[in-house]
């Protein structure tokens, strides 16, 4: 193969790929080629696994009542259009239970701190922080329950379809609550309290609209200081929006690029080829049956 043949064949393949993606202009094809060659520290986004920690899963509940100022980007109209879709992506409903059994709680919404990703509350209850509570007798259990369970108010719980049927305690006494649940299970003790459950689920119509309208790519923190990527993003003055999704266990930010803009679409396709995880595809693949016995 001569030295001139390789670039010719590469250009031909890029032209064919750009045609398949609906990128007709030369500028869009150049954008696709430059973006796909970026060497950025992309990592696949892990699907939720069994854990007692709500915050180790996808924090999609943040999209409910999403503030308009949550998105960043250079053009207000672009941010407003992206916000209109994102704000409908997750739906929340509430249900009430007059007699909820404490033993049915599977996890905690408080930050995990340095704790490992325990799969059962009993694992946390066995740590020194919980054992120091010294729940030895039924009297100890009742005394501690009276201290931390709300008087005259329902216990606050969360449930999300990406965690299956698992229920997470959304109060301020996670460590103590874990010890109470573990004690009640060990003793076969039925302890019922009123509860309010916030239930989260993805809106399939809004998810399909998001997929049709945007590339939504997971960008690690390092990408925003990479001169090659920032040059592509800013020099072309293309429309985009950013949304910080989560800070734990690592920073993850979503980049939204509208598909109806040829340059933005080309950048999105190129970043996907470079390894950027597709957050819409991730949401389509979220499990709905993640469950173990409490």
Considering only residues 156 and 5, tell me which one the structure prediction assigns the higher pLDDT. Answer: 156
Give the span between the Cα atoms of 28 and 34, in whole angstroms: 10
Around Cβ 261, how many Cβ atoms within 10 Å?
17
- pLDDT tens digit string along 41-100? 998 888 878 899 998 888 899 999 899 889 999 999 999 999 999 999 999 999 999 999
Give the span between the Cα atoms of 140 and 268, in whole angstroms: 58
Give the span between the Cα atoms of 169 and 108, in whole angstroms: 5
Residue-level pLDDT at 249: 55
Contact 92, 36 (CB under 8 A): no
Question: Around 287, how many Cα atoms within 13 Å sit in the side-chain half-sphere?
Answer: 13
Residue-level pLDDT at 286: 87
Q: Concatenate the DSSP letters of all residues of 264-282 into one string.
A: HHHHHHHHHHHT--BHHHH
Which H or E run includes 90?
Answer: strand 90-101
Q: What are the two backbone dihedrals, phi and then psi, of residue 245, each rounded to the nearest 5 degrees?
A: -90, -45
Contact 95, 197 (CB under 8 A): yes
- Given a cut of 90, whether residue 248 has pLDDT beyond it is no
Residue-level pLDDT at 122: 94
Give the span between the Cα atoms of 252 and 218, in whole angstroms: 6
Q: Model-level pTM?
A: 0.83
Q: Worst-scoring range by mean pLDDT, 126-135, 210-219, 252-261?
A: 126-135
Residue-level pLDDT at 17: 56
- Given a cut of 80, whether residue 257 has pLDDT beyond it is yes
Residue-level pLDDT at 1: 47
Residue-level pLDDT at 58: 86
Residue ranges per structural domain of the chain: 5-89+203-284, 91-202
- pLDDT tens digit string along 207-238? 999 999 999 999 988 899 999 999 999 888 99
Residue-level pLDDT at 159: 96
Q: How confident is the model at residue 131 (pLDDT cuts 50, 70, 90)?
A: confident
Residue-level pLDDT at 291: 56
Q: How confident is the model at residue 152 (pLDDT cuts 50, 70, 90)?
A: confident
Residue-level pLDDT at 19: 56
Residue-level pLDDT at 261: 95
**For 53, which DSSP code?**
B
CATH dotted code for 91-202: 3.90.1530
Mean pLDDT of 118-133: 89
Residue-level pLDDT at 20: 54
Residue-level pLDDT at 47: 82
Could you tell me the two tokens for 190? 């039925």
């Amino acid at each position: 193969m001569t030295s001139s043949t390789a670039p010719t064949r590469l250009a031909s393949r890029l032209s064919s790929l750009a045609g398949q993606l609906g990128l007709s202009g030369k500028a869009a094809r150049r954008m696709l080629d430059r973006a796909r060659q970026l060497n950025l520290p992309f990592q696949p986004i892990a699907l939720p696994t069994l854990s007692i920690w709500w915050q180790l899963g996808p924090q999609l509940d943040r999209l409910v009542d999403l503030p308009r100022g949550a998105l960043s980007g250079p053009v207000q109209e672009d941010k407003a259009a992206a916000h209109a879709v994102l704000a409908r992506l997750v739906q929340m409903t509430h249900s009430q239970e007059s007699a909820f059994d404490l033993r049915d709680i599977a996890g905690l919404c408080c930050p995990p701190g340095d704790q490992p990703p325990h799969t059962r509350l009993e694992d946390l209850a066995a740590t020194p922080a919980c054992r120091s509570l010294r729940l030895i007798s039924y009297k100890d259990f009742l005394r501690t329950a009276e201290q931390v369970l709300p008087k005259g108010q329902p216990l606050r719980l969360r449930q999300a379809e990406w965690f299956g049927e698992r229920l997470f305690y959304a109060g301020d006494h996670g460590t103590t609550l874990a010890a109470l649940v573990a004690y009640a299970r060990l003793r076969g003790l039925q302890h019922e309290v009123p509860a309010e459950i916030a239930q989260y689920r993805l809106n399939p119509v809004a998810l399909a609209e998001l997929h049709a309208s945007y590339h939504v790519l997971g960008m690690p923190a390092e990408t925003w200081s990479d001169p090659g990527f920032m040059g592509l993003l800013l020099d072309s003055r293309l429309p985009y929006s950013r949304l910080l999704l989560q800070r734990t266990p690592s920073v993850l930010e979503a980049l939204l690029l509208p598909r109806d803009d040829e340059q933005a679409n080309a950048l999105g396709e190129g970043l996907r080829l470079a390894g950027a995880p597709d957050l819409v595809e991730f949401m389509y693949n979220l499990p709905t049956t993640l469950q173990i016995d409490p």
